[in-house]
Structure formats: structure tokens, C-alpha cells
Structure 1
Amino acid sequence: MRRMEGKLAVVTGAANGIGRASALRFASEGANLAILDREDEGLAVTAEKARAMGAEVLTITADCTDEDVVVAAFKRIYAEAGFVDVLMNNVGQSARERASEFYQSSSEVWRFVLDVSLVSTLLSSRQVVPAMREAGKGKIVNVASNAGLAGEVGISEYAAAKMGVIGFTRSLARELAPFKVNVNAVCPGVTKTRVLEQISDEFLDKIRSSIPLGFFAEPEDIAAAAAFLASDDSRYMTGQSVVVDGGRWMV
């Protein structure tokens, strides 16, 4: 299917993992791309693969937590690539090696995780909302997580940030509904990205045993849900949080 033929999709955090898989899925659906990430080498690989599918691709090396950088990046996108039909806010990160139970945590880690996983979503969304309102169309797909829904121990700041993304999604969806702009979130469970390399096999086995389907997602599984939310197939959905976690959290 070519559900995004001729549309421009912006994907943040597109150098690897879910961001890369989503950008490539959008390209396979006919979209042209503007992709952002701090990792220029990974970004170049994503761009090469997307161009091989026939997509026009604008790459921008950017820190999506830096407001001045984000504003400049989107000005360039509008100037060089045109109207943004789809924004996928994929940038996000847990505390990773600095993760701890809350009583041992620090405000420095909280602020880092909130900036990367929540504020970045607000910053990029702020750049596209005025034009989408004026045009009376557009899709915003925010990447949240099932972490906030499940309330995992040791990642309280990440859970808070991702529940913030869900709350932001719902509020913005109501605000933009009169302008026919859809705002939805996808909530991945454990997905086979680089972060799993930092987790012990014992802990991964414990998580896997809690998943009814019995296996972890591939980035392409999340990309498939994102492509649905970015396409006209989801035209009557807004403010929703689509959980893709193998049945670990059932709504």
C-alpha cells in the first residue's frame, strides 16, 4: 500500500531503532522524508535506505532538546521540503545506566529524561501546529511507552515523562480536532533496539516471561502502528494511545 504518497513526514530520532524503521516504513508507503537525529552517521544510513525506495530525503543533524536548534531545523524543513503532513516525535530515552529506584535518584537525571522524552516532543510539535491548523490537516504521532501504564520499578522519571507524552497527546488532540488534525500516540513495549544490550539476560528473560505473546517487538512492529496512525486509515482516531507490547498491558 502507498498510503502516504507524496506526503512529507518528519521523523525525529531517525538514525536507529524505531525511528529508522518508521522512516523507512513511511518511505515504503510513498512519503518523502525530513529526518533528524544527533547521530549523523546513522542518519545517513537511514537516508540512503529511504532514497533507495524512491523517497526524497532531507537530513538534519540536530539535538531535539535544544529549542534554538529545533526552531532552525523546522524553518529549514519548511523552506526546502514544504508543508509537513506528518510529524513523528520519536526522540526519547530512559536514564539507562543511571537508572535507579526513586529514593536513590537525582534531579539531574529527572531533568535529562524529561527533556529528552517529553520536552523534545513539545518543541517539535510547536513548530508544526500553526501550519497544520491553518491548512486544516495533518498528523502528529507521538512515541510514548507502556512503561508509564505498567509503572515499572526503577524508571520512575521515564514513566512520568512518557505519561506526560500521553497527556500532551490527549490535550493537543482536543485542541486540534476542530482543524481536522489528528494527534495520537504509540506505546511500545520492550523492543529490540540498542538499549537491550545494556540489560542482563536474566532481567530480559524475566520481562519476556511477562509478555503473553512471549517475545519482544522488532522496531518494524512499532513502525507498522505508526504508519497506520500517520495515514488516512486512522482519520477517525485522535487522542488515542495505541499499545504495542505483545499483550503485556491490555486496555
Structure 2
Amino acid sequence: MAKVQLLQDKKVIVTGAARGLGRDFAEAIASAGAKVVMMDILEDLVLSEASKLKSQGLQVEATVVDLSNISSIERAVEFAVAQLDELDGLVNCAAMATNVGGKDMLNYDPDLWDRVMNVNVKGTWLMTRACVPYLKKSVAGKVVNIASDTALWGAPKLMAYVASKGALIAMTRSMARELGEFNISINTISPGLTLVEATEYVPEERHNLYVNGRAIQRQQVPDDLNGTALFLLSDLSSFVTGQNIPVNGGFVFN
């Protein structure tokens, strides 16, 4: 008898999927039996990565999306639904992360603050809003927002990013209250500092702070997050909503 995969025949959108965590999520979700549409503002890269996954026999498509642009979001979701026929899940991984820190609150650039909030918070809301009409048609729609454990311990000199991820956690709880009547569950994963392209600029002392402060004292890699994401997208988590799950090796306990 053939083994049924955890996300067999599910239809899922993953944003921020050209590289880093989003790219890893897309591969893991597709490998679990889902059909995936990968989205990113880096159009050439997301198309290239989708082509690589297709060559491995995975069911993936890709398109460009700019989370700061409502029309771009709506076009991307329309494309995805046209490819997938229906929609069961959304992973909101896209965010501004690289080079958004380094200055304290007295010297932080207000324009940078606005850009980070516009993408990380407003963009996540707008992407979710665009997907809800289709998720409502699913037996049990799933949304997974990717936040950060920096919002749980208050990382210094990273204020806009930390504030945006804290807002995302709070927004998820509010959305859970509103979407529950449609049997749509929405949860947040808060990773610790993970070895991806976006964290290459992080000073070595911050990496060491994380490793030394974890209950499991090692570097975090993207694959450490996949199990939680697959669980939250699967039927196994049908009664879990509005929750924030830190996945950080025990650097922060929830």
C-alpha cells in the first residue's frame, strides 16, 4: 500500500520562497505531498528555484509578488488559485529582515521603520485577506505566519523588525477570532536566529549569544522549522489556532 504523505493533495501558497526559510518551507511542503505556489519579490530567483524543485518531481509553480503593493498581491493570489484550482494553506514567510537593524531607538530611521511595517505587518495582512475567500472553501483552511523570537525577548538595535514581528503575533490572535467561524486556523511560528542568507549580516557575538543561551546548544538551520510548519498546515492541527510556537532550541520558552 502506498504511503499517504502528511499534506497529500493540499494546495499551499508560500511567500518569501525564493531563498532562506521560505525556500526551505516550499520544498518541505511539496515533499509532503502538497502542490505549492512559491511567491517572492525576487522574480528571477523564485522562478529559478521553482524550476529546480520541479526537476526533483515536486509540484510547484512560482510568481512574483510585492507585499507593499495591493495590486501585486491580488494578481499573485489570482495566479496561484488558477494554478491550484483551490487553496488549503498559506505560509506568510516574506519579510524585510536584512539590514534593518544596527541602530538604537534614538537613531533609528523613521522611513526604514515605515518600510518594515508596511511589508512585514500590512503586507502579511493584505496577503492573508486576499487568500481568505479561497481558504473559506477548503474543508479546513490553514495560515502559518512566520514571526521571530526577537519579539519575545526584545532584541536590541533591531527595533522595527522586533516591533513588526510582535505585531504579527498579536495580529494572528485577532485574525484567529475572526476566521474561526470559517474553520480557518491561523498560527505563528517564531524562529530563533537561523542560518540563512538574511542573517549573514548578523554579528558573530549575536550568533554566539543564541547558541550559548539555548537549551539545545547549536546553530539553528531551516530544517529545524519544517516539522512545525507541516504540523500546522496538516489536519493534525485542526483544533489549534491563535497560537505562537517558538522554535528556537529553548532560547525563549513560551
TM-score tier by shorter-chain length is over 0.9
More helix by share: 1
Counterpart in the other structure of 1:217: 220
Match of 2:199 among 196, 201, 207: 196
Aligned partner of 1:183: which letter? I
**Conservation of the 8 A alpha-carbon contact between 2:211 and 2:219:** yes
Match of 1:61 among 59, 64, 67: 64
Deviations 1:81-102 (A, max 9, x none): 2211110000112362653111
Instruction: Give yes or no for the alignment of 1:159 onto 2:162.
Output: yes
Determine helix, strand or coil for the equivalent of 2:91: strand
Unaligned 5+ segments in structure 1 are none
Instruction: Give yes or no for the alignment of 1:241 onto 2:244.
Output: yes
1:1-251 equivalences in 2 (<5 Å): 2-94=5-97, 96=99, 99-135=102-138, 137-251=140-254
Determine helix, strand or coil for the equivalent of 1:118: helix
Distance 2:174 2:130 in 1: 17
* C-alpha deviation, 1:210, in angstroms: 1.8
**Conservation of the 8 A alpha-carbon contact between 1:12 and 1:64:** no
* C-alpha deviation, 1:106, in angstroms: 1.9
Aligned partner of 2:140: which letter? K
The 10-residue stretch of structure 1 (224-233 or 72-81) with the greater mean CA deviation from structure 2: 72-81
**Conservation of the 8 A alpha-carbon contact between 2:186 and 2:241:** yes
Aligned partner of 1:110: which letter? W
Distance 1:111 1:97 in 2: 11
Determine helix, strand or coil for the equivalent of 2:106: helix
Aligned partner of 1:14: which letter? A
Q: 1:133 to 1:81 in 2, by over 3 A?
A: closer
* C-alpha deviation, 1:118, in angstroms: 1.1
Deviations 1:176-222 (A, max 9, x none): 11221111111000001113321232332233222221122111111
Distance 1:215 1:90 in 2: 23
Identity within the alignment, %: 29
Q: 1:93 to 1:215 in 2, by over 3 A?
A: farther
Q: 1:63 to 1:91 in 2, by over 3 A?
A: same
Q: 1:149 to 1:202 in 2, by over 3 A?
A: closer
Question: TM-score scaled by structure 2?
Answer: 0.92
Distance 1:95 1:37 in 2: 15
Distance 1:216 1:92 in 2: 22
Distance 1:202 1:177 in 2: 42
Distance 1:184 1:53 in 2: 30
Aligned partner of 2:184: which letter? V
Distance 2:100 2:245 in 1: 28
Distance 1:108 1:95 in 2: 15
Deviations 1:138-187 (A, max 9, x none): 10000011111111111121111111111111111111112211111110
RMSD: 1.7
Determine helix, strand or coil for the equivalent of 2:136: helix
Aligned partner of 1:19: which letter? G
Q: 1:18 to 1:166 in 2, by over 3 A?
A: same
Distance 1:79 1:225 in 2: 28
**Conservation of the 8 A alpha-carbon contact between 2:100 and 2:160:** no
